[in-house]
Amino acid sequence: MNSKTPRFTLITLTSLALLSGCSGDTEAPAGIAPQKFTDALFAVMEADRTVYTRKVVQRLANEEKVIKASEHWSDDKALPLPAQMFRFGSEAVAEKTDAFSYTLQSIWPINDQNSPKTQMERDGLQFVVDNPGKNFYGEETLGGVTYFTAVYPDVAVSPACVSCHNEHRDTPRSDFKIGDVMGGVVIRVPL
């Protein structure tokens, strides 16, 4: 028995050395996959957007009627629209990082500047309208840079979304219902 113990120890040590030597070659690449990254970003964006619309705009403007929501929020001393809140956030992010960018768009925009500009934006916005509950992912090259581009559905989560859009003088569509996909959030990550 005594003679076997040292040999066992030697084998164990050798296997450990081999294992640790191998681990460097099999490590997963560092960083997070683009789709996981944009999915997580969208979860935060969607939550903030829903909370602002339900707990601030719908409650204070539509139900309690203590303050209006207005495009001219500064002059009117009113609440900024949900789309304006979203853009202010997006602009603030753009000043801090170029790791990603994001916009709110629609194929039925009130503001023409929010219409799709690239073919991938057009395809993605149409896809999220045609396939409720699904997201769109692709890659596009713009100005020599390749991007991972994700498009997520922007859903009418509150009566405020529907009434404001349907009644707006510049809307190209006035039959939105609760639960409809009204547009999409486009998130771009340079690869």
Residues 97, 98, 99, 101, CA torsion sign: positive
- Least CB distance to ligand HEC at residue 95 (A): 19
* Residue number, 8 or 109, with CB nearest to ligand HEC: 109
Please tell me the distance from the alpha carbon of residue 151 to that of residue 187, in angstroms, as a whole number: 6
* Chain residue whose CB lies nearest ligand HEC: 183
Token pair 């009418």 in the structure block, residue: 156
Binding-site ranges for ligand HEC (CB under 6 A): 49, 53, 57, 69, 71, 81-84, 104-106, 109-111, 114, 154, 156-158, 160-161, 164-165, 168, 182-183
- Tell me whether residue 34 is exposed, middle or buried, using C-beta atoms within 10 angstroms of its C-beta: 0 to 12, 13 to 18, 19 or more: buried
∠ at Cα 52 (113, 135), nearest 5°?
Answer: 60
- Least CB distance to ligand HEC at residue 119 (A): 18
Give which of 154, 139, 153, 155 is closest to 189, Cα–Cα. Answer: 139
- Least CB distance to ligand HEC at residue 167 (A): 9
* Residue number, 57 or 189, with CB nearest to ligand HEC: 57
- Least CB distance to ligand HEC at residue 27 (A): 42
* Residue number, 45 or 157, with CB nearest to ligand HEC: 157
* Residue number, 34 or 180, with CB nearest to ligand HEC: 180
Please give the structure tokens belonging to residue 174: 């006035």
Please give the structure tokens belonging to residue 64: 């309690």
